[in-house]
Amino acid sequence: PTIFFITPTYKRLTQKADLTRLSQTLLHVPKLHWILVEDSHEKTNLVQRFLAGCGVQFSHLAVRTPKQLITKEGDPRWLKARGVEQRNLGLKWIRQNYKDGIDGVIYFGDDDNTYDLKIFEQMRYTKKISVWPVGLVGGLKWEGPICKDGSVVKFYTLWKPQRPMPLDMAGFAINAKLIIDNPDVEMDTMAARGYLESSIVSRLATRGEFEPLANNCKEILVWHTQTAEPKMKQEDRLKQMGFESDPSMEV
């Protein structure tokens, strides 16, 4: 089976660094197709060049998040979900390109997370929906399924545990056939806070069907790391004086 790895991405100072680190993880994963979806009206030159040189098999897509769904300056970061339209476009691409059948698994991963290679090999054989814990998320050291005898009995999270999928986006994978067979299922752009993952998963499988990975969910193989925003104090000063760093250097 092929792993379809859907990643939303957007322009920022650390974008190329994050994409470089991620691509060099993905280079170690056989039979992986990277669907990188830019949050932008058009594909940018930076990402185009980056993908052409990164060595990973990819499809490059772009869709801008509609205005009413973008977090405004001063709004808290959690107010609106990020990367939703982009993930849905990735699903649409898969549906359009695999009308005659598909042998694969779909995984949604942020461009700034950290992935142990082991999780890719484990998720590859997902029958419906596989799950595993995620490190450094939800204000905890980790969040994730608690399992007994190979089934999920509950979820360890301090926040709305009654959600159908109280787990970060990076903590589950979906058999691609389910996505082809259920052509209307996608992430709900209007989902209430914390219900984005549930909005897609709850329409595809029940809790009892979740397949625990990562050693019965006792191992952390994915971390919700977040890249710090670099300080540009000197750059801003130089800019004010009309001497910003050479803009032809792509960072």
On whether the CB atoms of residues 83 and 71 are closer than 8 A, the answer is no
- Select the binding partner of residue 39 from ligand UGA, Mn ion, none (C-beta < 5 to 8 A, by kind): ligand UGA
Nearer to ligand UGA by Cβ, of 26 and 102: the residue is: 26
Q: Is 110 strand, coil or helix? A: coil
Select which of 143, 197, 211, 244 is catalytic.
197
Residue 169 in contact with ligand UGA, rule: CB under 6 A: yes
Nearer to Mn ion by Cβ, of 114 and 216: the residue is: 114
Closest approach of Mn ion to the CB of residue 110, in Å: 4
What tokens appear for 217 in the block?
A: 């969910």
Binding site for Mn ion (CB under 5 A): 110, 112
Q: Cα separation of 173 and 229, whole Å?
A: 29
User: Hey, which residues between 171 and 230 contact ligand UGA (CB under 6 A)?
Assistant: 196, 224, 226
- Specify whether 73 is catalytic: no
What tokens appear for 124 in the block?
A: 């590859």
Q: Which parts of this chain interact with ligand UGA (CB under 6 A)?
A: 7-10, 39, 65, 81-83, 86, 110-112, 168-169, 196, 224, 226
